[in-house]
Structure 1
Amino acid sequence: MTAALKSPLKSYEFRREREKTWHELEALVSRAEKRGLKALPADDLLRLPTLYRATLSSLSVARSISLDQNVLTYLESLSARAYFQVYGARSSLFEGIAHFLKHGFPAAVRAALWPNLIAALWMTLGTVIAFFLVQANADWYYTFAGDMAQGRTPAASTEFLRAGLYDGRDDPLESLYLFATFLFSHNATIGMFAFALGIALGIPTVLLMFYNGLLLGAMLSLYASRGLAWDLVGWLSVHGTTELLAIVLCGGGGLVLARAIVFPDRETRLESLARRGRAAGTLIMGAVLMLFVAGLLEGFARQLLTDITGRYLIGGLMLAFWLTYFALGGRDRRHDRSEPHDDD
């Protein structure tokens, strides 16, 4: 009889001493769930973690002394709700996007500086090799360009090549929209392959960067042989300064994955891949956004703008914008320290 009375008494005393804290926490959590944490006064925001820890302590004690199941269920539910308010996401979708654009993306580019430079080096190497090979023997052009040439071959007339650089202003808007959509899908596919194939030790990624350089170098060589190099570079610069940078970033992201597998440091390869994969994912999301911008520039601005000076102006401004954005975007000590670096 004494033991039977003791257990309810113990439960009653336990609840009486701590119930005020639980109710206060429940009221704060309910208000935060309805109106958001920003609606809480500063004093309540400071009080919330203290109440949460006190409730967790109560839950731990309640489990150890085997209180009745109703109290345990109540405390477990309250602790879970409070956890999401204390440690859960505090930003809206738009705030998350703004933070990504202001801090996440440019910091990820800076953190992967060396993989990005290596990807750019391989693309540049392919461009130079193809340029001089096609200059020496035009038949190399068919090897590098293949089906991508679309009639722009050494057999085409100079007038045909020049017309391809300046025609397009009279195309209907719907046609330009479809063209821009196709280009975005095509370039995004290339970028995703360059990134995803990084898991194969980065070898396919490097080869894809090199191949893209071969195609670019072959076209430059062909147009240079007809005195149209300046025109081609202007034609490419409108979208190319954005598109080529994006593809390089995709290649850099693939090399980040490769490094995680080849050089996992003190972690297991799976742990290294998971940690570096998050940083590479941020890089790729930004690169896809850049490819979308490049698709719009290629499908609209480049086709509608036929003035060579205007094309160089747009291309130069876009290049200056991206380089400045990557170098300075969101650069403050707090955020830069929080971003994982590739050589960590």
Structure 2
Amino acid sequence: MDLDAYVLAHHADWTRLESLLRRRHLSGEEADELVERYQQVATHLSVLRSAAPDPTLVAHLSSLLARARNRSVGTRVSTWRGAALFFTERFPAALYRLRWWWLGCLTANVLVTAVMMWWLLDHPNVEQSLLSPGEVDQLVNNDFEGYYSEYAASHFAAQVWVNNAWVAALCLGLGILGLPLVKVLFDNVVNLAVIGSIMTRHDRGELFWGLILPHGLLELTAVFVAGGVGFRLFWSWVEPGDLSRSQALAREGRTAGTVALGLVAVLLVSGVIEAFVTPSGLPTWARVGIGVLAEVVFFTYVFTLGRSAYLRGATGDIDASLLEDRVASQG
């Protein structure tokens, strides 16, 4: 196909559509014309993709169509309505659809942590190779407990939130590569196992678990969710199933974006617990109980709202109407 000739033949249609989009108010006839031009340009874009996929032109027409689609359908839902739909449909459906991936990641990490802690407790010489006696004493008697009350609670909550969001983002971002994600998760496990074994060996195990569990249950679950979704992203191009590799990767990438946005809220909750509950004067059973309650609420959310949304057809992917237009064409 002669690209220049095709552009010359249809440039007036594209210009007219763009001029309609620049108008603040449309008459009834102009609104009808907008829909008609939208359909025409969608067909043009489909032809160009199959016969002469010029990247610049395709990007321009895709942007034009996106603006036209939004203008033609209007504002479908309010901002608050959209946020509500995200947290009651899209995010929980994504968690439920990918449940076996992140539950598997959670289980594997918990088992590795338990085995590593047991091994470290049985090999005290390893502790001596990692930290000096003075460093161990400082960690056991000051640093570990003091970490949770070193800063003002509000500042600490923000700091923890950003740090945990970064770890989750790494899990999602590196998931497509596979092995780097394994390293991120393993480093996280090693840190927990080493500190836990040192605290336990020095008769501070109750303090360790009393400070870790209130926020750690939900926080680590969020990290393992990100890890599981990251592994699914990796697997989407290894084994794409009925889709092409690019289609499978695009679908799981969009779903990973959904999970990333949702985990921001989950990690905010765990950060608030870590800043305000973990170092509080509440008895250990109360602080741990709050952590367990938060974890139960999360799993209930996934397996009630998530399951219900998934059975209604939600997958965690964005709405089909927001995807690029793909109009069947010949030629």
TM-score (norm: length of structure 2): 0.68
Match in the other structure for 1:181? 158
Query: SS at 2:203's partner residue?
Result: coil
Match in the other structure for 1:107? 93
Which residue identity is paired with 2:251?
R
Match in the other structure for 2:53? none
Taking a change above 3 Å as real, the CA distance of residues 95 and 136 of structure 1, as seen in their structure-2 partners, is same
Mapped contact 2:172–2:227 kept (Cα < 8 A): yes
Match in the other structure for 1:247? 223
Q: Distance in 2 between matches of 1:155 and 1:213?
A: 19
Mapped contact 1:106–1:329 kept (Cα < 8 A): yes
Q: Give structure 2 stretches of 5+ with no counterpart.
A: 1-25, 41-64, 318-331
Mapped contact 1:166–1:306 kept (Cα < 8 A): no
Q: Distance in 1 between matches of 2:28 and 2:128?
A: 73
Question: Is residue 210 of structure 1 aligned with residue 186 of structure 2?
Answer: yes
Q: Distance in 1 between matches of 2:193 and 2:249?
A: 34
Aligned positions of 1:152-301 closer than 5 A: 155-156=136-137, 161=140, 175-200=152-177, 202-301=178-277
Higher relative contact order (CA 8 A, sep 6+): 2
Identity %: 25
Q: Distance in 2 between matches of 1:325 and 1:117?
A: 15
Mapped contact 2:171–2:227 kept (Cα < 8 A): yes
Q: Distance in 1 between matches of 2:192 and 2:310?
A: 40
Mapped contact 1:176–1:299 kept (Cα < 8 A): yes
Deviation, structure 1 residue 135? 0.8
Deviation, structure 1 residue 226? 2.7
Q: Give structure 1 stretches of 5+ with no counterpart.
A: 1-24, 31-51, 61-78
Question: Is residue 95 of structure 1 aligned with residue 96 of structure 2?
Answer: no
Q: Any idea what the Cα deviations from partners look like across 1:266-309, whole Å, max 9, x if unmatched? A: 33322211111111211121112212222222122212235212
Which residue identity is paired with 1:196?
G
Which residue identity is paired with 1:197?
L
Mapped contact 2:214–2:274 kept (Cα < 8 A): yes
Deviation, structure 1 residue 102? 1.4
Q: Distance in 2 between matches of 1:334 and 1:167?
A: 44
Query: SS at 1:257's partner residue?
Result: helix
Match in the other structure for 2:109? 123
Which residue identity is paired with 2:286?
G
Mapped contact 2:93–2:314 kept (Cα < 8 A): no
Deviation, structure 1 residue 324? 0.8
Query: SS at 2:277's partner residue?
Result: helix
Q: Distance in 2 between matches of 1:133 and 1:290?
A: 32
Mapped contact 2:222–2:263 kept (Cα < 8 A): yes
Mapped contact 2:89–2:314 kept (Cα < 8 A): no
Deviation, structure 1 residue 211? 2.5
C-alpha RMSD of matched pairs (Å): 3.5
Query: SS at 1:337's partner residue?
Result: coil
Q: Number of residue pairs matched? A: 267
Q: Distance in 2 between matches of 1:298 and 1:130?
A: 25
Taking a change above 3 Å as real, the CA distance of residues 138 and 53 of structure 1, as seen in their structure-2 partners, is farther
Mapped contact 1:130–1:215 kept (Cα < 8 A): no
Q: Distance in 2 between matches of 1:81 and 1:214?
A: 49
TM-score (norm: length of structure 1): 0.66
Query: SS at 1:241's partner residue?
Result: helix
Q: Distance in 2 between matches of 1:102 and 1:162?
A: 44
Which residue identity is paired with 2:215?
H
